[in-house]
């Protein structure tokens, strides 16, 4: 199915779910950037940008749109919140569409290396997965962690995905043994430490609190939203920047805005393009101390029945790579009590942290009440 | 089709030397590790930049560094990432932090070289060596555990 059809389905389902007509949508926002190097950037084929929906005659009432190029999907949510508050629109559609080409993709095929790549490509080291592997290897050594500990986190995500009909791995369990035996991609990162490349789209509708009260479903309220703004020194591999330094200011901003803290969260939806990012966010957001996430993230603690359920929908590792949109959708479902078999108890507030955290990303806190 | 035993093909992407990087590669070709440094605030920059990202000074110069470093981390790459290196998978990539300045990183690898895995510990001492890689005269700085242990 072409990406454009996924996008239309997601959009129509989001409108039907909250009980509005497609023509009621008057605001559009997305983060449209393709995830893979070498993307053709064909609208409707491998990206879905604002023009895709503006070209649909049902969107004749659109008065506002935004398509930020930095800050992942959280930036689009933030822009939409501002537009709704300022009265630029009444119902904003937010979506994130992802296309994955068949077969191997992203191979560095050039025989030359230009710009900053002249200091990485000759060494065969141009991929973010290798840079993440550097960070994770260092984490393992500095804090005395092991892949056995990571198995608990990855298997937990899979268990949650097994309760999520939209997950790529909805029907396929994963055992700790299977995780530990999986082929290496860039050691110490194995296949199951990487998110699932999928072709998919998720969409949601944002509106004002007043309007939300009259819609079909109970709303999720946006209590805080922020962007990662930490200055970054030039480096051959920016992902090696300190994860606490990168993530902590965003977390502090969210907790201040929401008037809530880590202990108030009923669940945490943490970006997991690669599994170690979950450790980094647990530490940067203050759920545990630096260097302790590997010991913190046990099944008893981060499982659906635990004190801090993490990636309750399976995360990008098991639902599929939507660069944070899956996390936001899940937070909304949890606080509105609509997460079905994976619903956590007393879901008054759920946070989302989106990004590596060293890459420009963002975060938000959703609450059950306004 | 040839019936001879095929040898692994190593086709590293070759740096395209530019205005900012010329002195780095010329230095390496002469067996010298030189890193760009700000003339105003003395901050080292790698990769080189047209202005200092710390103080904004535009005048940058290259200065020799000791070649001493600490191993920051390493990874064994199994996945097909660089087309010209598929034959030598799996290979080790590493990143080192030069002793001159925190977070001043250079990359290195063990492609086509023996791998002393047991010597690889985060923070261990590394030292630069120089490896010619192309007929065009490109020489890659590489880092090896230091001091070098020789068989007696």
Is B121 a residue whose pLDDT tops 80? yes
pLDDT of residue A2: 92
CB atoms within 10 A of CB B10: 14
Count of structural domains within chain B: 2
- The helix/strand/coil state of B33 is coil
b or e along A328-356 (b: 16 or more beta carbons within 10 Å of the residue's beta carbon)? bbbbbbbbbeebeebbbeebebbbbbbbb
Give the list of residues 6+ apart from residue A3 with CB closer than 8 angstroms, or none: A44, A45, A46, A47, A48, A97, A99, A199, A201
Write the CA distances from A152 to A171, A294, A311, integer angstroms: 19, 9, 13
pLDDT of residue B120: 85
Q: Where are the alpha helices (DSSP H) in chain B?
A: 22-29
DSSP assigned state of A232: -
pLDDT of residue B71: 96
B47 shares its domain with B116: no
Residue B1 lies in a domain: no
Residue of A nearest to B82 (CA): A108
B35 shares its domain with B77: no
- Work out the minimum CA distance from B4 to partner chain A, whole angstroms: 26
pLDDT of residue A105: 82
Question: Are A304 and A158 spatial neighbours (Cβ–Cβ below 8 Å)?
Answer: no
What number is the average pLDDT over the span B109-122? 84
- Work out the minimum CA distance from B152 to partner chain A, whole angstroms: 31
Domain boundary among B46, B65, B84: B65
Residue A233 lies in a domain: no
pLDDT of residue A286: 98
- Counting one residue from chain A and one from chain B, the pairs whose CB atoms sit within 8 A come to 149
Count of structural domains within chain A: 1
Is B148 a residue whose pLDDT tops 80? no
Residue B97 lies in a domain: yes
pLDDT tens for residues A297-342? 999 999 999 999 999 999 999 999 999 999 999 999 999 999 999 9
B72 shares its domain with B139: yes
B28 shares its domain with B73: no
pLDDT of residue A341: 97
Kindly list the residues from chain A whose CB atom is less than 8 angstroms away from the CB atom of residue B17: 118
Residue A91 lies in a domain: yes
Contact between chains at B105 and A124 (C-beta distance less than 8 A): no
Residue B124 lies in a domain: yes
B89 shares its domain with B134: yes
Q: pLDDT-derived band of residue B73, with 50, 70 and 90 as boundaries?
A: very high
Residue B7 lies in a domain: no
Domain that residue A34 falls in: 3-103+198-206
Quote the Cα angle for B130-B136-B139, to 5°.
10
Residue A64 lies in a domain: yes
pLDDT of residue A336: 97
Residue B2 lies in a domain: no
Contact between chains at B107 and A120 (C-beta distance less than 8 A): yes
Q: pLDDT-derived band of residue B4, with 50, 70 and 90 as boundaries?
A: low
b or e along B118-134 (b: 16 or more beta carbons within 10 Å of the residue's beta carbon)? eebeeeebbbbbbbebe
Question: Are A229 and A312 spatial neighbours (Cβ–Cβ below 8 Å)?
Answer: no
CATH of the domain at A45: 3.40.47.10
Enumerate the β-bridge partners of residue A94: A29, A204
**What's the average pLDDT block by block, 10 residues per block, for chain A (370 residues)?**
96 98 98 86 95 97 96 95 98 96 86 95 95 95 97 98 98 98 97 96 97 96 94 73 89 98 98 97 97 97 98 98 96 98 97 91 94
pLDDT of residue A35: 83
Domain boundary among B7, B31, B65: B65
Residue B3 lies in a domain: no
The fraction of chain A above a pLDDT of 70, given in percent, is 99
B118 shares its domain with B132: yes
Q: How far apart are CA A53 and CA A75, in angstroms?
A: 19
Residue A167 lies in a domain: no
Residue A88 lies in a domain: yes
- Work out the minimum CA distance from A109 to partner chain B, whole angstroms: 5
Kindly list the residues from chain A whose CB atom is less than 8 angstroms away from the CB atom of residue B122: 137-138, 141-142
Domain that residue B48 falls in: 17-65
Residue B25 lies in a domain: yes
pLDDT tens for residues A240-292? 778 898 999 999 999 999 999 999 999 999 999 999 999 999 999 999 999 99
Q: How far apart are CA A272 and CA A259, in angstroms?
A: 26
B71 shares its domain with B141: yes
* Interface with chain A: mutation pick from B9, B107, B109, highest number of A CBs within 10 Å: B107
* ipTM passes above 0.90: yes
Q: How far apart are CA A23 and CA A321, in angstroms?
A: 29
Quote the Cα angle for B79-B91-B118, to 5°.
125
> Which residue from A105, A89, A101 is spatially nearest to A20, judged by alpha carbons?
A89
Question: Are A279 and A193 spatial neighbours (Cβ–Cβ below 8 Å)?
Answer: no
Residue A308 lies in a domain: no
Residue B11 lies in a domain: no
Among B21, B74, B79, the residue with its CB nearest the CB of A118 is B21
The whole model's pTM is what? 0.95
Kindly list the residues from chain A whose CB atom is less than 8 angstroms away from the CB atom of residue B93: 123-125, 130
């Amino acid at each position: 199915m072409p990406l454009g059809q996924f996008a239309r389905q997601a959009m129509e389902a989001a409108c039907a779910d909250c009980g509005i007509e497609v023509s009621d949508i008057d605001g559009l926002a997305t983060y449209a950037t393709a995830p893979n190097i070498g993307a053709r950037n064909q609208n409707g084929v491998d990206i879905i940008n604002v023009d895709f929906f503006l070209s649909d005659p049902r969107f004749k009432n659109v008065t506002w749109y935004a398509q930020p190029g930095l800050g992942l999907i959280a930036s689009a949510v933030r822009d939409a919140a501002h537009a709704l508050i300022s009265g630029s629109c009444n119902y904003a559609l937010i979506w994130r569409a992802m296309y994955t080409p068949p077969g191997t993709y992203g191979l560095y095929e050039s025989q030359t290396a230009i710009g900053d790549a002249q200091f990485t490509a000759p060494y065969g080291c141009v991929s973010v997965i290798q840079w993440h592997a550097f960070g994770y290897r260092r984490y393992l050594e500095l804090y005395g962690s092991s892949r056995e500990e990571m198995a608990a986190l990855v298997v937990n995500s899979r268990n949650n995905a097994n309760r999520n009909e939209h997950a790529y791995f909805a029907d396929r369990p994963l055992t700790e043994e299977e995780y530990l035996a999986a082929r290496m991609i860039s050691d110490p990162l194995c296949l199951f430490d990487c998110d699932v490349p999928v072709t998919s789209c998720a969409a949601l509708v944002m509106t004002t609190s007043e309007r939300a009260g009259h819609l079909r479903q109970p709303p999720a309220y946006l209590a805080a939203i922020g962007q990662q703004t930490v200055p970054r020194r030039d480096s051959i591999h920016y992902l090696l920047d300190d994860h606490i330094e990168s993530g902590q200011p965003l977390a502090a901003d969210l907790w201040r805005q929401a008037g809530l803290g880590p202990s108030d969260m009923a669940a945490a939806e943490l970006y997991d393009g690669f599994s170690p990012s979950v450790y980094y966010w647990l530490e940067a957001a203050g759920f545990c101390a630096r260097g302790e996430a590997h010991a913190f993230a046990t099944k008893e603690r981060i499982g659906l029945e635990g004190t801090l359920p993490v990636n309750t929908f399976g995360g990008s590792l098991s639902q599929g790579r939507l660069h944070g949109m899956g996390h936001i959708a899940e937070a909304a479902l949890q606080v509105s009590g609509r997460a079905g078999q994976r619903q956590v108890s007393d879901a008054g507030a759920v946070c989302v942290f989106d990004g590596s955290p060293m890459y420009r990303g963002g975060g938000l806190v959703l609450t059950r009440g306004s | 089709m040839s019936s001879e035993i095929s040898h692994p093909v190593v086709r590293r992407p070759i740096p395209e030397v530019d205005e900012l990087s010329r002195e780095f590669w010329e230095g390496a070709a002469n067996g010298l590790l030189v890193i760009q440094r700000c003339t105003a605030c003395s901050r080292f920059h790698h990769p080189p930049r047209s202005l200092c990202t710390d103080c904004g000074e535009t005048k940058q110069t290259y200065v020799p560094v000791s070649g001493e470093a600490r191993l920051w981390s390493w990874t064994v790459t199994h996945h097909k990432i660089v087309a010209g290196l598929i034959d030598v998978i799996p290979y080790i990539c590493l990143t080192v932090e030069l002793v001159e300045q925190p977070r001043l990183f250079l990359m290195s690898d063990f492609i086509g070289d023996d791998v002393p895995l047991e010597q690889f510990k985060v923070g261990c001492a590394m030292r630069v060596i120089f490896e010619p890689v192309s007929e065009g005269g490109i020489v890659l700085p590489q880092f090896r555990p230091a001091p070098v242990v020789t068989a007696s």
